[in-house]
Amino acid sequence: MSVCFPSPYVLGAQLHPSGCRFTLYAPDQECVHLLLWHQGHQPQRLAMHEYKRGYWTRDVADVVTGQEYSFDVSHNGQSWCVADPYAQAVTGPLTYRPPYTSSQSTQVARCQVVDHELFDWQGVSSPQRSIRDTVIFETHVKGLTQQHPDIEPAQQGRYLGLVSPAMLAFYQQHHINCLQLLPITCCLPEPHLLSQQKTNYWGYNPYVWMAPDPRYAEKDAVNELKTAIRELHRHDIEVILDVVFNHTAEGGEGGPILHFKALDHAMYLQDGQQLHNHTGCGNTIDIRHPAALKQVLDTLRMWVTDYHVDGFRFDLAATLGRDGDTFDPHNAFFHAIAQDPILSKVKLIAEPWDIGPDGYQLGQFPVNWAECNDKIRDITRSLWRGEPGMLQDFATRLMGSRDVFSAAYWPDHLPINYITYHDGFTLQDVVSYAKRHNHANGEKNQDGHGDNRSANYGVEGPTNNPDIIKIRDQQKRNMMASILFSLGTPHILMADMLGHSQQGNNNAYCQDNPISWLNWQTQDHAWSNWLATMITRRNAIVPRFIDALSGTQRHFNQITWRHPNGDPVHDHQWPSLQALSCEITLGAHHSDAGQSLLIAINSGHTAHNLRLPPNHQWRIVCDTATDETTVGTPESFQRLVEKSFLVCIDGDWL
């Protein structure tokens, strides 16, 4: 009986009945050796054979799951040990002592053979929730659980900590239905961080795209991550991975030789011998290169098929649409995703910019993508801290930023509405600090964003002043209500659910310590409970209106803007407005025909009497003037206090 061997075009380590086939794409090499590592022994060194067109293969009998391997290649006259770009597990230390040398490479570049068929998914399937019904919670695997007192020490800061009984109870209590994990693929810290005994805590310096980071596992990163995803799915929680395909940890000129620089230099955008740096990290992946496109697509499919992830958030995604110095929304990568029977079905979220030329591309991604909407972040922060003339733009953002995201393509092409992301202030710091305080990063407080649109309300940092605490809490409610009840998909930092402060650090990328780790002992329970209640109400209300305003249905509904006294807003009045109300009434073509949502905003310092439209049974579901969550029945003239956001629905939908 003949043995069925994997195709030599299937890259990586492929197990088969009699052993394993190792395949590497290395068109820049004239000779490649496979190294098989055995504990306490020198590696077994086996010559690989070039099958054709840069594909190097070697079959080895009796190789089993767990075998460590790497490749020996030549670069600039030196012998280097390099990692398999298709490796699905790594065992080498994810650190080194700068400068990176060929002798250190023999330890770092160790990969491991994996058999994905061994894991039991127990019949658990993905929730497959629509993007309009999703509230995304962004979190760091380690930072979420490292300091949780009710999680077993062996699981704190690890994949399994995500699904500990304490965390599963927390998700349920706070109505969390989607986790977006900061990068969990293997990364290496940048040389300047290693020189300072720091690390890239966020994980945005990718080393091996297909391998989960072993630092978040007790023993087995592959199976422990799968277990976490399976149990999250069992509890109706989706998992989105933040992925980085715009650059790698090889960096720019002088960076370490990890794989692509020696194997296939065409993976990176170049001008002669100079690497392009459209990412701020030294190099830029050239997605036009067939090998780069194949690697990214194969990686994405692996995470969906072998780990059952529900979607991806693409860091600096404008790079993936680059045609050199320009952006092309019709490039091969976007077309490949759109026609792929696996990838076209998952959630695709773009961070729609990079730092290169023509790098800001908000609203320009294909219609099957959602996009991070920085416009609502900026205008919401500006509005609530009291900048004049902001309400007109805020009204546009509230209605789904349809000047950028046409409702004709909803609900697929929705804005991801956020106030805070990992890169920036937490919400507590937005209302506590007027300036960044990044001294702990070792860059003389010159790193991080300078335009934070934050305010401290009288004291820089923590305070015991009850008046300052009161206005800070109200401003937090205002900003969170603004994204929860705007049309789009809300994105919330898990840190903000707890009221976590990073001590004014708005670029804590290298802070693997309590600056970043969530402090469960100081959780603001009153705030968490208010936010959890608003999330529940958002989920019951907003998706109906997104649905009604999507596609051709959008033409059959009515949106009315009024002054607080009920008079219509005229065009010339918009620039000077500080308070107004918006009523959306669903038309006859929708199943909820005749029902209405009313949102009233007072960004000024003067209270107003809000005249509610007659002939409705209005119910107050959100009033940021208080942390009370009781559903109330308003008077015909409802008090709209200064600096407040009010949401009413017609009838009882909750």
Query: Can you tell me whether residue 529 is helix, strand or coil?
Result: helix
323 pairs with which residues across the strands? 326
Q: What is the pLDDT of residues 54-66, one digit of tens each?
A: 999 999 999 999 9
What mean pLDDT is predicted for residues 548-553?
89
Q: How far apart are the C-alpha atoms of 350 and 348, rounded to whole Å?
A: 7
User: Taking 80 as the threshold, does the pLDDT of residue 625 lie above it?
Assistant: yes
What mean pLDDT is predicted for residues 601-621?
94
> Does residue 351 carry a catalytic annotation?
yes
What mean pLDDT is predicted for residues 355-363?
95
pLDDT of residue 53: 85
What mean pLDDT is predicted for residues 418-436?
97
User: Taking 90 as the threshold, does the pLDDT of residue 557 lie above it?
Assistant: no
Q: How far apart are the C-alpha atoms of 347 and 134, rounded to whole Å?
A: 10
pLDDT of residue 652: 80
| Assigned token pair, 199 | 């690390």
Q: How far apart are the C-alpha atoms of 196 and 209, rounded to whole Å?
A: 25
Cα 371 to chain centroid distance, Å, stands at 11
Q: How many C-alpha atoms does 56 have within 13 Å on its Cβ side?
A: 21
What mean pLDDT is predicted for residues 122-139?
97
- The share of the chain scoring above pLDDT 70, in percent, equals 99
Confidence band (pLDDT; 50, 70, 90) for 567?
Answer: very high
The pairing of beta strand 326-327 with beta strand 347-350:
unpaired
pLDDT of residue 169: 98
Which residues, other chains included, contact 39 with Cβ-Cβ below 8 Å and sequence gap of 6+? none
Closest to 644 measured CA to CA, from 618, 621, 628, 622: 622
Q: How far apart are the C-alpha atoms of 264 and 501, rounded to whole Å?
A: 44
> H or E element: which one contains 620?
strand 618-623
pLDDT of residue 21: 97
pLDDT of residue 591: 72
Which residues, other chains included, contact 100 with Cβ-Cβ below 8 Å and sequence gap of 6+? 108, 191, 255, 256, 257
Which amino acid, 509? Y
User: Taking 60 as the threshold, does the pLDDT of residue 1 lie above it?
Assistant: no
Q: Which candidate in 68, 286, 315, 623 is catalytic?
A: 315
State the alpha helices, DSSP H only, in 196-314.
221-234, 260-263, 290-307
> Does residue 623 carry a catalytic annotation?
no
| Residue recorded with tokens 């990063």 | 441
Cis peptide preceding 214, ω within 30 of 0? no
State the alpha helices, DSSP H only, in 373-524.
374-384, 391-398, 427-430, 466-484, 494-498
pLDDT of residue 4: 63
Confidence band (pLDDT; 50, 70, 90) for 9?
Answer: confident
Other CB atoms within 10 A of residue 118 CB? 10
User: Taking 50 as the threshold, does the pLDDT of residue 2 lie above it?
Assistant: no
User: pTM, whole model, 2 decimals?
Assistant: 0.96
362 pairs with which residues across the strands? none
| Assigned token pair, 642 | 């200064």
35 pairs with which residues across the strands? 45, 70
| Assigned token pair, 271 | 């001008």
Confidence band (pLDDT; 50, 70, 90) for 297?
Answer: very high
In the 8-state DSSP scheme, what is residue 567? P
Cis peptide preceding 99, ω within 30 of 0? yes
User: Taking 80 as the threshold, does the pLDDT of residue 592 lie above it?
Assistant: no
Q: How many C-alpha atoms does 86 have within 13 Å on its Cβ side?
A: 21
Q: How far apart are the C-alpha atoms of 85 and 299, rounded to whole Å?
A: 10
Q: How far apart are the C-alpha atoms of 14 and 56, rounded to whole Å?
A: 13
Other CB atoms within 10 A of residue 123 CB? 7
Q: Which candidate in 351, 354, 429, 650 is catalytic?
A: 351
Other CB atoms within 10 A of residue 193 CB? 20
Q: What is the pLDDT of residues 481-535, one digit of tens each?
A: 999 999 999 999 999 999 999 999 999 999 999 999 999 999 999 999 999 999 9
Q: What is the pLDDT of residues 16-34, one digit of tens each?
A: 999 999 999 999 999 999 9
What mean pLDDT is predicted for residues 167-187?
97
276: phi then psi, degrees, rounded to nearest 5 = -70, 145
Percent helix / strand / coil, the chain, rounded to 5: 30, 20, 50
Average pLDDT, the chain: 95
Q: What is the pLDDT of residues 248-293, one digit of tens each?
A: 999 999 999 999 999 999 999 998 778 999 999 999 999 999 999 9
Query: Can you tell me whether residue 26 is helix, strand or coil?
Result: coil
Domain architecture of the chain: domains with CATH: 12-118 (2.60.40.10), 131-544 (3.20.20.80), 555-650 (2.60.40.1180)
